């Protein structure tokens, strides 16, 4: 199915299988990976790790069919670099360059095309999965491994690793024209979101991309954008200079970006999180090399601090309270999004927050399940808004680490939403199983990882094992 299995691709799959065979028999399996976009502490270990480095790149493209065979460890940066010259891109390109296609399929991936293209795992036609027992199986929605195909979304390596995938592509244009719309009421913003999701246009103009930023209850923005074959007389923006992209929303009505700059508009400053590293201060920004204005650079700085704790120790000496990390993406039903935002802005001292509308492409549930993707609890035909917030809050006297995250989890569940699992989670095991498809996961886990060499989803997401 899809583009050919090239000799290079078959060699990559063999390399992955050989790396698995070389691991100590019966030992837990952990992936060797140079980059990560997970935000939960994991224990260091010197144990041998699974090497899937050969599973990178675009191995074959069928431009006429709009399909590509790609390696599971291919970053979206590489996918864009290899596909964009052909006028193609994945249906959803998550915001950060070093997110891998395999990581987005088994975890969280979302962006401004998600209101029409759903989530990355929905554009997968076929996947080759290295399972917990060392076998490589080819899974599709209709073959004998359809149970694994449906369960891979949100499984986070608890069922196996995607060595290669056949994914759908869409045609691109050279330019993206953006319009930023300001709102002083959150209900007005969500009303427009609903209209655009229903019609894919606004004021008679086609809309190809939708996302937004909330600075406060009285100041929020929707960016409605579309492909364009020309610059339409505008000078393209450049947000690798003095101004971060998110600040442009507050004073620009229209903007123009190249297709590539649009796809990575948020990566340059890790949305707005680069301010924590001083990268938005004018003097620092002038000295900071543009090639290092990237999310993976900030991530490495943050990971260094997590290992050594120098800044935290300095803050303690200054008498500052300890902090709780609050890095989450949650999906809220559209009709409850304004309620969630009002609660969040009142209770959690974090701003701005990101908004990204999303609707599943699937039109019916999986057999025997209430949703198409049993571990990813979203309803067919329902409109959601992803709300992203990434910062830290002070822990008050008498408080404990996790209090704020637990309150957010409770509020999200009460409003009929759910949260992604790429960061810390605090659910008890019974609640977690109920929210994340435990009864559907059990038989799939037993079939494809009978020896328990891969961690359980709860171990990965909550116990951080």
Pinpoint the alpha helices (H) of 200-330: 245-248, 259-263, 282-287, 295-308, 310-317
Supply the mean pLDDT for the chain: 92
CA 302 to chain centre: 18
| Axis crossing angle, helix 310-317 with helix 295-308, rounded to the nearest 10 | 60
Do residues 130 and 447 make contact, with C-beta atoms less than 8 angstroms apart? no
Residue 196: predicted pLDDT: 98
In a domain, 235, yes or no: no
In a domain, 63, yes or no: yes
What mean pLDDT comes out for the span 225-239?
95
Residue 311: predicted pLDDT: 64
| Tokens 């409003």 -> residue | 415
Asked if residue 10 has pLDDT above 80, the reply is yes
Q: How far is residue 363's CA from residue 127's CA, in Å, rounded to a whole number?
A: 21
Q: Among candidates 93, 96, 167, which has minimal Cα distance to 125?
A: 167
Residues 6+ apart with CB under 8 A from 164: 9, 12, 13, 55, 59, 69, 70, 71, 72, 127, 128
Sign of CA dihedral 341, 346, 348, 349: positive
Give residue 45's pLDDT band: very low, low, confident or very high (50, 70, 90): low
In a domain, 250, yes or no: no
What mean pLDDT comes out for the span 11-36?
85
Lowest-confidence segment of 158-162, 287-291, 346-350, 378-382 by average pLDDT: 287-291
Lowest-confidence segment of 91-105, 162-176, 297-311, 376-390 by average pLDDT: 297-311
Element holding 167 (H helix, E strand)? strand 160-171
Residues 6+ apart with CB under 8 A from 355: 189, 193, 211, 212, 213, 214, 220, 222, 337, 385, 386, 387, 388
Sign of CA dihedral 431, 433, 437, 440: negative
Do residues 153 and 43 make contact, with C-beta atoms less than 8 angstroms apart? no
Q: How far is residue 22's CA from residue 446's CA, in Å, rounded to a whole number?
A: 23
Q: What share of the chain has pLDDT > 70, as a percent? A: 94
Lowest-confidence segment of 147-151, 181-185, 291-295 by average pLDDT: 291-295
Asked if residue 43 has pLDDT above 70, the reply is no
Q: Among candidates 210, 157, 193, which has minimal Cα distance to 50?
A: 157
Q: How far is residue 437's CA from residue 446's CA, in Å, rounded to a whole number?
A: 15
In a domain, 125, yes or no: yes
Residue 410: predicted pLDDT: 97
Sign of CA dihedral 16, 17, 23, 28: positive
Lowest-confidence segment of 166-170, 269-273, 359-363, 366-370 by average pLDDT: 366-370
Name which residue leads in pLDDT, 298 or 232: 232
Q: How far is residue 312's CA from residue 322's CA, in Å, rounded to a whole number?
A: 8
What mean pLDDT comes out for the span 131-137?
94
Give residue 279's pLDDT band: very low, low, confident or very high (50, 70, 90): confident
Q: What share of the chain has pLDDT > 90, as a percent? A: 77
What mean pLDDT comes out for the span 170-198?
98
pTM of whole model > 0.75? Answer: yes
Which two structure tokens, joined as six digits, stand for 366?
A: 């999986």
Q: DSSP state, 269? A: T
Residue 357: predicted pLDDT: 98
Give residue 36's pLDDT band: very low, low, confident or very high (50, 70, 90): low
Residue 318: predicted pLDDT: 75
What mean pLDDT comes out for the span 419-447?
94
In a domain, 317, yes or no: no
Asked if residue 37 has pLDDT above 60, the reply is no
Residues 6+ apart with CB under 8 A from 396: 321
| CATH number of the domain that residue 128 is part of | 3.30.465.10
Residue 343: predicted pLDDT: 98
∠ at Cα 265 (112, 304), nearest 5°?
110
Q: How far is residue 248's CA from residue 381's CA, in Å, rounded to a whole number?
A: 33
In a domain, 46, yes or no: yes
User: What pLDDT, in 10s, does the model give residues 90-107?
Assistant: 999 999 999 999 999 999
In a domain, 160, yes or no: yes
What mean pLDDT comes out for the span 203-230?
98
Sign of CA dihedral 374, 380, 382, 388: positive
Q: How far is residue 39's CA from residue 302's CA, in Å, rounded to a whole number?
A: 10
Do residues 372 and 118 make contact, with C-beta atoms less than 8 angstroms apart? no
Helix (H, G, I), strand (E, B) or coil at 178: strand
User: What pLDDT, in 10s, does the model give residues 363-388?
Assistant: 888 887 788 999 988 999 999 999 99
Residues 6+ apart with CB under 8 A from 410: none
Residue 279: C-alpha distances to residues 235, 241, 393, 404 (Å): 25, 11, 20, 27
* Domain span holding position 27: 7-172
Residue 44: predicted pLDDT: 58
In a domain, 101, yes or no: yes
- How many domains is the chain partitioned into structurally? 1
């Amino acid at each position: 199915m899809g583009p050919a299995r090239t000799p290079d691709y078959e060699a990559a799959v063999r390399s992955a299988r050989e790396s698995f065979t070389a691991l100590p028999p019966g030992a837990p399996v952990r992936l060797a990976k140079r980059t990560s976009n997970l935000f939960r502490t994991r224990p260091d270990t010197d144990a041998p790790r699974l090497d899937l480095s050969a599973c990178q790149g675009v191995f074959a493209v069928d431009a006429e069919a709009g399909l590509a065979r790609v390696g599971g460890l291919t970053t979206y940066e590489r996918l864009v670099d290899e596909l964009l010259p052909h006028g193609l891109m994945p249906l959803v390109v998550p915001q950060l360059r070093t997110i891998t296609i395999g990581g987005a399929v088994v975890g969280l991936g979302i962006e401004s095309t998600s209101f029409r293209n759903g989530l990355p795992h929905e554009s997968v036609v076929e996947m080759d999965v290295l399972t917990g027992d060392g076998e490589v199986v080819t899974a599709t929605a209709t073959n004998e491994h359809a149970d694994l195909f449906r369960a891979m979304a949100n499984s986070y390596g608890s069922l196996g690793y995607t060595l290669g995938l056949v994914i759908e592509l869409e045609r691109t244009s050279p330019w993206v024209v953006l319009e930023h719309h300001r709102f002083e009421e959150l209900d007005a913003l969500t009303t427009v979101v609903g209209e655009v999701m229903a019609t894919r246009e606004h004021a008679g103009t086609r809309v190809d991309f939708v996302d937004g930023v909330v600075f406060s209850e009285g100041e929020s923005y929707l960016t409605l954008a579309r492909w364009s074959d020309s610059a339409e007389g505008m000078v393209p923006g450049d947000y690798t200079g003095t101004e971060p992209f998110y600040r442009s929303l507050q004073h620009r009505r229209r903007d123009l970006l190249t297709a590539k700059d649009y796809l990575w508009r948020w990566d340059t400053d890790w949305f707005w999180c680069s301010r924590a590293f001083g990268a938005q201060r004018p003097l620092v920004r002038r000295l900071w090399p543009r090639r290092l204005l990237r999310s993976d650079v900030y991530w490495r700085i943050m990971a260094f601090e997590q290992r050594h704790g120098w800044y935290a120790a300095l803050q303690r000496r200054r008498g500052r309270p300890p902090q709780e990390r609050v890095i989450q993406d949650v999906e809220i039903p559209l009709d409850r999004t304004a309620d969630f935002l009002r609660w969040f802005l009142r209770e959690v001292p974090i701003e701005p927050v990101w908004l990204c509308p999303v609707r599943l492409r699937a039109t019916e549930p999986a057999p025997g399940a209430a949703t198409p993707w049993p571990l990813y609890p979203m309803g067919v035909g329902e409109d959601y808004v992803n709300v992203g917030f990434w910062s830290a809050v002070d822990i008050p006297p008498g408080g404990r680490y996790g209090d704020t995250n637990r309150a957010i989890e409770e509020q999200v569940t009460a409003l009929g939403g759910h949260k992604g699992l790429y960061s810390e989670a605090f659910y008890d095991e019974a609640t977690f199983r109920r929210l994340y498809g435990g009864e559907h996961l059990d038989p799939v886990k037993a079939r494809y990882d009978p020896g328990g060499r891969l961690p359980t989803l709860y171990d990965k997401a909550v116990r951080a094992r």
